């Protein structure tokens, strides 16, 4: 966790408590370290008791994440990860008179931090329709500078740093607007497909993307979908066929599509595996499966696309043809 401090530099004695009940008058004017578990109610217990004791600063060690929490005013409340918390705890146990100095945040320039799928992001597989990959795509949503009301705590001059899927959604919406301006004839499905098909499965430096949290595993399509959205690289998925394959009746599909005449599903009903998604998801794989994708060239004339495969462990994949040549 990163917790920038924006107040005046402060120095005080440092102490450790195991529970909120241990914060007594002895904590007055001191910096208190405690360990908590994210998502529990202990955080509020510590904060309430700490305010009453009139401590100088409360440092809470919790699970590692990348959400920036800005500490302003007094008393100070800051968040660090377990690793740094353990280092501080060892120092407290070894020092005769442990103390700490908290300085205002500084800005360092250099390479971007490692790209990770945030702990709050929506993950797959899709429990309603496992034949469709979830999520579609990943976009920046951590520590985004967003407009705010003056009444919001921590806001400065109408802006505040926020994190969440509500912050990543406008990024994708903006890219869709730009893409639509260049290709006004493209359907929403084509716009979506263009973003998914051009996303990156590595970070801007070519390094792998990880999953935020205790596991620290490599991210996979169930974490980031097609990958991290690439604004500099932005083919069609028939949603009506998807609804047919999913079992919707024709009257309902007609209403959804806002058609004036009854939409008729093809017979036999299309396979969920053959839905023209820019991704391929095969749930319950037990035997050989054959499926089809239809692609449209949105690049230059005479474009040539060569196949690159990276099948999951224990799965053999063959694609025909393995090279696509477009004359238009």
In tens, the pLDDT along 139-174 reads 998 888 888 887 887 777 888 888 888 999 999 999
Please state, in angstroms and rounded to a whole number, the distance separating the CA atoms of residues 121 and 138: 9
Helix and strand element counts for the chain (H, E): 7, 11
pLDDT value of position 235: 39
pLDDT value of position 236: 39
pLDDT value of position 168: 92
The closest alpha carbon to 90, from 147, 20, 14, belongs to 14
Who wins on pLDDT, 7 or 294?
294
pLDDT value of position 226: 87
Confidence band of 185 (pLDDT split at 50, 70, 90): confident
The closest alpha carbon to 81, from 213, 230, 229, 268, belongs to 213
Tens digit of each residue's pLDDT (9 = 90 or more) over 7-45: 778 889 999 999 888 888 888 989 999 998 866 667 788
Q: What is the CATH architecture of 10-102?
A: 3-Layer(bba) Sandwich (3.50)
Beta strands per DSSP E along the chain: 10-16, 31-35, 57-62, 76-81, 99-102, 116-117, 144-147, 159-162, 210-211, 304-306, 323-325
pLDDT value of position 178: 86
Mean pLDDT over 84-100 rounds to 93
pLDDT value of position 192: 84
Q: Where are the domains positioned within the chain? A: 10-102, 238-275
**Structure pTM?**
0.51
């Amino acid at each position: 966790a990163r917790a920038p401090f924006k107040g005046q530099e402060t120095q005080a004695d440092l102490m450790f408590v195991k529970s909120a009940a241990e914060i007594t008058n002895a904590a007055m004017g001191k910096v208190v370290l405690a360990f908590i578990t994210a998502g529990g109610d202990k955080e509020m217990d510590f904060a309430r008791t700490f305010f009453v004791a009139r401590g100088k600063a409360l440092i809470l060690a919790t699970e590692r994440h990348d959400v920036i929490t800005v500490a302003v005013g007094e008393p100070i409340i800051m968040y660090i990860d377990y690793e740094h918390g353990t280092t501080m705890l060892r120092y407290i146990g070894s020092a005769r008179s442990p103390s700490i100095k908290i300085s205002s945040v500084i800005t360092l320039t250099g390479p971007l931090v490692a790209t990770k799928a945030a702990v709050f992001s929506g993950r797959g597989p899709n429990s309603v329709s496992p034949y469709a990959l979830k999520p579609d795509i990943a976009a920046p949503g951590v520590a985004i500078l967003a407009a705010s009301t003056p009444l919001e705590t921590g806001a400065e001059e109408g802006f505040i740093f926020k994190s969440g899927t509500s912050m990543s959604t406008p990024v994708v919406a903006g890219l869709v607007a730009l893409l639509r301006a260049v290709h006004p004839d493209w359907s929403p499905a084509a716009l979506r497909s263009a973003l998914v098909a051009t996303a990156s499965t590595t970070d801007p430096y070519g390094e792998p993307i990880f999953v935020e949290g205790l596991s620290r595993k490599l991210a996979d399509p169930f974490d980031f979908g097609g990958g991290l959205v690439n604004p500099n690289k932005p083919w069609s998925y028939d949603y009506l066929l998807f609804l047919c394959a999913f079992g919707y009746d024709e009257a309902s599909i007609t209403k959804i599509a806002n058609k004036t005449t009854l939409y008729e599903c093809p017979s036999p009903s299309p396979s969920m595996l053959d839905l023209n998604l820019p991704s391929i998801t095969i749930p319950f794989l037990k035997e050989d499966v054959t499926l089809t994708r239809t692609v449209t060239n949105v690049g230059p004339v005479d474009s040539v696309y060569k196949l690159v495969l990276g099948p999951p462990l224990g799965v053999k994949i063959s694609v025909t043809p393995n090279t696509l040549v477009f004359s238009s």
